[in-house]
């Protein structure tokens, strides 16, 4: 029996590899909605959504706080969905897994609401997670990929420049953003966000966007932007973004040519910067690990596992644990923790751990299926076309997944929409 005929291979193909069958073909609903299709309008509204999400703090400072109050970021995102080319929408395995994830969210939320969880908490969490899904599905329909890429780079440039200024010439950073052992880190770039880790996640993705565009189009301005994005990424001192980018680029090099993996040690040259070296190695110190076990990430993992055991199948409900929504609504789920309601750290600092607790095994399996299937199909696409866009999407899939192991990245629309939009570029319409 050939390996290609084995049950394991057939099962893997069925679960993760896109075929010729399209469940959306001849859909009357999509045909009706396609009367309003306008890719240019959709891209414009996608850009407006990102502007609102990336610069809402600036708008508030300028006296336009109503931009955030009225959730214009989400409104523009919905308009982007409305005007996208529904006729180009295909039922890829990635989309199917995301739709199943939404179904698991709704079932988990309904079950938790019946058990007494506040509906506002459930609704807020579903909206937050849906931002990634909506952006991903919308961009899947775009044919003009270069226009979207250039828009992302242009709109994020002010953030990048402000971040560089903050990191080099800004004032002393908040003591909450560094540990007492980090004597060399006195300023962390944060842009217009409430945390340097958000800017770190953004610059991580934009570095991949610019690098893929540089190799694809070979334009000098992509190289300049790449240098700027790397600079601000370093100045955010976001370890999770550093590790995410390193993992993404390492996998992309392996896919491109396994021999290129030998150039990865060049990245270690960043350790020549004393503050970077200290920032990385302090997380391996005994003092840091002890603190992490008492009230940090290690404690959070242990506490999350205890709460997960109380509802492993459907989870405790969207928004109920580990993120800003749970903190805002004072979620009662924390009472099921290993210390009877005492919370040393209210956040999981891990997007996938948060999803595991909130949506249980089903939701986690569907998110895992999304990442695996999207990786597999972009890998197949790259092998066929040698497209740098596909290679960039592969790098971004890995980077976003690894980054999510150390932060609640989809709690923030600024990152959820950006990551959904860029990953959505990797699809069957690439030429």
| pLDDT surpasses 80 at 52 | yes
% residues pLDDT > 70 (the chain): 94
| pLDDT surpasses 90 at 62 | no
C-alpha dist (Å) from residue 248 to 229, 242, 254, 398, 430: 15, 10, 10, 5, 21
Distance CA 415, CA 400 (A): 10
What confidence tens digit (pLDDT) does each residue in 142-183 have? 988 999 999 999 999 999 999 999 999 877 777 777 877 777
Instruction: Label residue 362 by pLDDT band (50, 70, 90).
Output: very high
Q: Which tokens go with 312? A: 């492993």
Identify the residue whose tokens are 């509204």. 45
Instruction: Label residue 18 by pLDDT band (50, 70, 90).
Output: confident
C-alpha dist (Å) from residue 342 to 265, 322, 339: 43, 14, 5
Find the mean pLDDT for residues 279-308.
Answer: 85
Instruction: Label residue 429 by pLDDT band (50, 70, 90).
Output: very low
Q: For all residues of the chain together, what is the average pLDDT?
A: 88
Find the mean pLDDT for residues 274-287.
Answer: 81
What pLDDT is attached to residue 154?
97
What pLDDT is attached to residue 2?
55
Instruction: Label residue 105 by pLDDT band (50, 70, 90).
Output: very high
Which residues on adjacent β-strands are paired with residue 322? 347
Find the mean pLDDT for residues 58-83.
Answer: 83
What pLDDT is attached to residue 126?
93
More confident residue, 268 or 11: 11
Find the mean pLDDT for residues 372-390.
Answer: 93
Find the mean pLDDT for residues 281-288.
Answer: 81
What pLDDT is attached to residue 107?
95
Distance CA 360, CA 353 (A): 10
Contact 267, 403 (CB under 8 A): no
What pLDDT is attached to residue 281?
82
Contact 205, 238 (CB under 8 A): no
Nearest Cα residue to 367 out of 430, 315, 325: 315
CB atoms within 10 A of CB 43: 21
pTM of model > 0.85? yes
What pLDDT is attached to residue 4?
58
Contact 410, 352 (CB under 8 A): no
| pLDDT surpasses 60 at 428 | no
Contact 426, 390 (CB under 8 A): yes
Instruction: Please tell me the total number of residues recorded for the chain in this structure.
Output: 431
Distance CA 325, CA 317 (A): 12
Find the mean pLDDT for residues 357-385.
Answer: 95
Instruction: Label residue 89 by pLDDT band (50, 70, 90).
Output: confident
Least reliable range by pLDDT among 4-18, 69-83, 240-254, 257-271: 257-271
Find the mean pLDDT for residues 289-308.
Answer: 88
Instruction: Label residue 351 by pLDDT band (50, 70, 90).
Output: very high
More confident residue, 174 or 332: 332
Residue by residue, DSSP assigns 175-188 as GGGS-TT-TT----
| pLDDT surpasses 50 at 232 | yes
Nearest Cα residue to 201 out of 424, 420, 357: 420
């Amino acid at each position: 029996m050939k390996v290609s005929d084995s049950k394991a291979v057939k099962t893997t193909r069925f679960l993760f590899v896109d075929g010729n069958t399209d469940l959306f073909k001849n859909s009357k609903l999509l045909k009706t909605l396609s009367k309003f299709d306008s890719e240019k309008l959709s891209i414009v509204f996608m850009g407006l959504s990102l502007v609102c999400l990336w610069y809402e703090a600036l708008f508030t400072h300028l006296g336009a706080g109503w931009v955030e109050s009225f959730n214009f970021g989400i409104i523009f995102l919905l308009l982007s969905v409305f005007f996208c080319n529904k006729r180009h929408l295909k039922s890829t395995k990635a989309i199917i897994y995301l739709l199943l994830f939404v179904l698991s969210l709704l079932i988990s939320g309904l079950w938790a609401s019946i058990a007494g969880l506040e509906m506002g908490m459930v609704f807020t969490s579903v909206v937050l997670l849906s931002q990634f899904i909506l952006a991903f599905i919308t961009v899947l329909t775009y044919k003009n990929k270069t226009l979207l890429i250039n828009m992302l780079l242009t709109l994020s440039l002010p953030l990048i420049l402000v971040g560089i200024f903050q990191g080099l010439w800004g004032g002393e950073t908040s003591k909450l953003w560094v540990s007492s052992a980090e004597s060399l880190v006195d300023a962390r770039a944060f842009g217009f966000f409430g945390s340097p880790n958000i800017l770190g996640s953004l610059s991580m993705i934009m570095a991949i966007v610019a690098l893929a565009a540089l190799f694809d189009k070979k334009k000098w301005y992509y190289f300049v932007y790449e240098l700027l994005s790397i600079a601000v990424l370093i100045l955010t001192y976001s370890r999770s973004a550093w590790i995410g980018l390193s993992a993404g680029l390492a996998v992309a090099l392996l896919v491109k040519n396994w021999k290129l993996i030998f150039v990865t040690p060049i990245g270690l040259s960043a350790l020549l910067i004393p503050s970077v070296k200290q920032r990385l190695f302090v997380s391996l110190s005994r003092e840091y690990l002890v603190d992490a076990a008492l009230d940090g990430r290690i404690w959070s993992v242990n506490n999350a596992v205890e709460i997960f055991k109380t509802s492993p199948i459907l989870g405790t409900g969207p928004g109920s644990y580990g993120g800003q929504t749970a903190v805002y609504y004072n979620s009662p789920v924390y009472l099921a923790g290993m210390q009877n309601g005492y919370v040393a750290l209210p956040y999981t600092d891990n997007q996938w751990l948060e999803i595991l607790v909130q949506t249980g095994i089903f939701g986690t399996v569907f998110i895992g299926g999304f990442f695996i299937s999207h990786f597999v199909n972009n890998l197949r696409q790259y092998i066929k076309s040698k497209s740098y866009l596909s290679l960039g999407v592969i790098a971004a899939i890995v980077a976003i997944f690894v980054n999510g192991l150390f932060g609640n990245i989809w709690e923030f629309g600024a990152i959820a929409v950006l990551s959904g939009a860029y990953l959505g570029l990797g699809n069957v319409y690439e030429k």
